[in-house]
């Protein structure tokens, strides 16, 4: 299972929100490029970027930062937030982004997204952000009537690279992942699932290992790493089936 550190971009800063609430922002680093390079140095095999400005308004204030992160890091990057047109997909791929995450458009323009999946094989990821089983859109500020499981089924055979399943009610809370929701999403589609939301301890990551056989192949970790609940090395060690009784790797404050 792949551990994917998250970098959420807001006005050029590395931040985290609580349950997607733009009024509950914590800034962790004013230099997201330095943060990306640190995660790479500490062993990350992929980065997860979210353009929060674009997710909310549709307009990005972070293009320069995104381009520099893509140019200066050597590991694959997946990016989401406000991606609602083919033009934006092409723009991000040209920046060097490996996989583009589409959320709102997956509901509002299903046919376009399926065409993008054909045009850019293994480059499109569907972001399913849900609360109480229903999908939220436009930076989580709008709720839909679409069931998360149904949306997963819709794109099951479309050629997308993965589905990122985010439980809004747990995101940024460190209270643990919604295993029932993840199980439902994974059962609805054979597409690889990346879990997101609520990770607060190594035990939470271990709990996800029980879903790996169902197709949960990765987990995005944000606040827990920034709050030093555990280190990236420890998380990677857990998912690599090392002896959990080994002395823990010391957590560094370099990621603050």
Domain limits, the chain = 2-239
Tell me what pLDDT residue 247 has: 40
Please report, rounded to a whole number, the percentage of residues in the chain having pLDDT higher than 70: 89
As a whole number of angstroms, the distance between CA 113 and CA 189 comes to: 17
Quote the percentage of the chain above a pLDDT of 90. Answer: 64
User: Class of the 2-239 domain?
Assistant: alpha beta
Predicted pLDDT at 144: 66
pLDDT tens sequence across 171-224 = 667 889 999 989 999 999 899 999 998 899 999 999 999 999 999 999 999 999
Answer yes or no: pTM beyond 0.85: yes
pLDDT of res. 256: 39
Nearest to 35 by CA among 49, 25, 17: 49
User: Across the chain, what does the average pLDDT equal?
Assistant: 88
Joined tokens for residue 219: 């987990």
Tokens for 243, please give them.
């002896």
Structure tokens at 148: 């998360």
Residues forming the active site: 8, 129
b/e string for 149-173 if b means 16 or more Cβ within 10 A?
A: bebbebbeebbbbbbbbbbbbbbbe
Average pLDDT score over residue span 149-171: 90
Identify which has the larger pLDDT, 139 or 150.
150
H helices present in the chain, as ranges? 32-41, 52-57, 63-72, 86-95, 104-108, 110-119, 148-154, 179-188, 202-209, 223-226, 232-239
Return the number of other C-beta atoms located less than 10 Å from residue 24's C-beta.
11
Give the pLDDT mean for 31-41: 97
Cα 142 to Cα 69, 70, 137: the distances in Å are 30, 30, 5
- Maximum CA pair distance of the chain? 51
Q: Can you tell me the distance from the alpha carbon of 179 to that of 240, in angstroms, rounded to the nearest whole number?
A: 20
Task: Report the pLDDT value the prediction gives residue 7, as an integer from 0 to 100.
Answer: 96
Position 48 pLDDT exceeds 90: yes
Note the pLDDT tens digit of each residue in 55-90.
887 778 899 999 999 999 999 999 999 899 999 999
Burial of 249 (C-beta count, 10 Å sphere; 0-12/13-18/19+) = middle
């Amino acid at each position: 299972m792949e551990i994917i550190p998250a970098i959420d971009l807001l006005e050029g800063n590395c931040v985290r929100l609580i349950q997607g609430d733009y009024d509950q922002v914590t800034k962790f680093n004013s230099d997201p490029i330095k943060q990306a390079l640190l995660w790479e140095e500490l062993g990350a095999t992929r980065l997860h970027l979210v353009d929060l400005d674009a997710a909310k308004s549709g307009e990005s204030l972070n293009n320069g930062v995104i381009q520099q992160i893509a140019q200066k890091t050597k590991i694959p990057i997946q990016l989401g937030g406000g991606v609602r047109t083919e033009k934006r997909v092409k723009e991000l791929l040209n920046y060097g982004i490996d996989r583009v995450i589409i959320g709102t458009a997956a509901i509002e323009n299903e046919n376009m997204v399926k065409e993008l999946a054909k045009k850019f094989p293994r480059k499109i990821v569907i972001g399913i952000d849900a609360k109480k089983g229903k999908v939220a859109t436009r930076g989580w500020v709008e709720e839909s009537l679409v069931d998360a499981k149904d949306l997963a089924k819709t794109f099951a055979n479309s050629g997308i690279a993965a589905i990122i399943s985010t439980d809004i009610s747990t995101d940024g809370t460190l209270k643990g992942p919604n295993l029932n929701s993840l199980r439902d999403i994974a059962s609805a589609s054979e597409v690889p699932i990346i879990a997101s939301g609520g990770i607060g301890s190594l035990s939470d990551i271990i709990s996800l290992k029980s879903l790996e056989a169902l197709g949960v192949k990765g987990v995005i970790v944000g606040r827990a790493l920034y709050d030093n609940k555990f280190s990236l090395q420890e998380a990677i060690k857990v998912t690599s089936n090392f002896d959990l009784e080994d002395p823990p790797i010391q957590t560094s404050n370099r990621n603050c």
